[in-house]
Structure 1
Amino acid sequence: MKSIRIVHLISTFAIGLFAGLLYTFEQGVIPALMTLNATEYARVEQGLIRSLDAFPTGVIVVANLAMLLPLYPLVRLWQQRNTAYWRLTALGWALFFFGVGIFTIVLNVPINNAVLAWDPAAPPADWENARSTWNTLNAIRTPINYVSFLLMIWASFEMPEG
C-alpha cells in the first residue's frame, strides 16, 4: 500500500503542476499575448513553445507522469473498484488523460506546430484566428485540469488503510 500512496502523491503533484502551468497561462501569459501585434505575437509565442518543449524534464515529462502514474493504483486496487478512493482516482485520471492530455495533443499541439512554422516577419493573415482558437481550447482544458487535480486530492483522503 505504501507504493500506492507514493505513486498517488507523485501523480497528484504532477497534475497540480500542470494545473499551475495552465493557470499561469490563463491569468498572465494569455492576457499579455493579447496585447501584441502579429509580428510580436509570432516571435513571443514561438519562443514560449520552444522553451516549454525544449527542457526534457519539463512539461512533457510532467504531463506523461500525470497521465500514466494513476494507472498503477487503479490496476493494483482493481478488486476495490467500488471504493471512493478508486472511483475518485479513476475519474481524476480520466479527466486529466482525456480532457487535458489527449485534448492537448489532438487540438492545441497542432496549433503550436503551425505557429512554429510561421515567419515572424510575415505571420499569416489569419494569425488572430489561430490565437483565438488556442486560447479557447486552453479555457476549456484548464478547468478540466483543476477538477482532475481536486479529485486526486479528494481521493488521497479516501485511500484505503493497509
Structure 2
Amino acid sequence: MRVDAVLGVAVLLGSGVTAGVLFAVALSVLPALFAMETGTYVHAHKLLGRNWDPTMPVVVLSSTVLAAVLAFAADGTVPRTLFAVAAVLLLGVSAVSHLCNVPINRRVKAVADPTALPDDWEDPRPLWRRWHMLRTALSLVALVLNAAAVACG
C-alpha cells in the first residue's frame, strides 16, 4: 500500500472523528445543556469536559498535520489544493477551540459551587454555542475537502 494512501485514510479518520464529535455536540449535547438550570449546566459542563480536553486537540492537530503533509505529497494540483485548504480549516478549528471555547470552559470549571453562582456571573452558553458552531462548520468543510482530495488522488 502506498504511503499517500495510508495518510489519506488517516486524514479521513481524523477529520471524520473531529467533524463527528463536534456535530454530535451541536446536535445533542448543546440543546441538552441549554435545557438545564444554570447550576445543573455548570455541573454537567464540568463532567462533559473531562475527556474531551486531552483527546480532541491531539486528534485535530494530527489531522491538520496529515492534511498539510498531503498538501505537499499528493499528486496533482487539485488534491494538493484541497488538502491545503482542509489543513487551514482544521487549524481554524484548533484556533477557535483554543482561543475561544477553552477560555469559556476554564471560566465554567472555576465555579466552586454551581448552586451559588456569583451575582455578576454571565451565562456563557450562547457565546460558547456560537464559537462551537463555527468550529463545527469548519470541521465539516475540512472533512468534505479531505474526502474530495482522497477521491481525486
2:42 corresponds to: 42
Q: Is the 8 A contact 1:66 1:96 kept in 2?
A: yes
Give SS of 1:14's match.
helix
Give SS of 1:122's match.
coil
Alignment of 1:75-114 (within 5 A): 75-77=72-74, 83-98=77-92, 100-114=93-107
Select between 63-72 and 101-110 the one with higher mean Cα deviation: 63-72
- Show structure 1 runs of 4+ deviating over 3 A: 124-127
2:15 corresponds to: 15
In the alignment, structure 1 residue 115 sits paired with structure 2 residue 112:
no
**Separation of aligned partners in 2, 1:70 and 1:60:** 15
RMSD, aligned α-carbons: 1.7
1:24 corresponds to: 24
The structural deviation recorded for 1:12 is: 1.7
Q: Is the 8 A contact 2:83 2:145 kept in 1?
A: yes
> What are the superposed Cα offsets for residues 124-159 of structure 1, whole Å, 9 maximum, x if unpaired?
44342x111001111122111111100000001111
In the alignment, structure 1 residue 63 sits paired with structure 2 residue 60:
yes
Identical pairs, percent: 25
Work out the number of aligned pairs and report it: 151
> What are the superposed Cα offsets for residues 103-132 of structure 1, whole Å, 9 maximum, x if unpaired?
11111111111111112232344342x111
1:74 corresponds to: 71
Unaligned runs of 5+ in 1: none
Which of 117, 121, 126 lines up with 2:121 in the alignment? 126
Q: Is the 8 A contact 1:19 1:142 kept in 2?
A: yes
Select between 60-69 and 118-127 the one with higher mean Cα deviation: 118-127
**Separation of aligned partners in 1, 2:121 and 2:133:** 20
Letter in 1 for 2:100: L
> What are the superposed Cα offsets for residues 47-73 of structure 1, whole Å, 9 maximum, x if unpaired?
11123235xxx3232122112122222
Letter in 1 for 2:133: A
Letter in 2 for 1:88: L
**Separation of aligned partners in 1, 2:140 and 2:149:** 14
Letter in 1 for 2:88: A
TM-score, normalised on structure 1?
0.85
**Separation of aligned partners in 2, 1:73 and 1:23:** 25
The structural deviation recorded for 1:4 is: 1.6
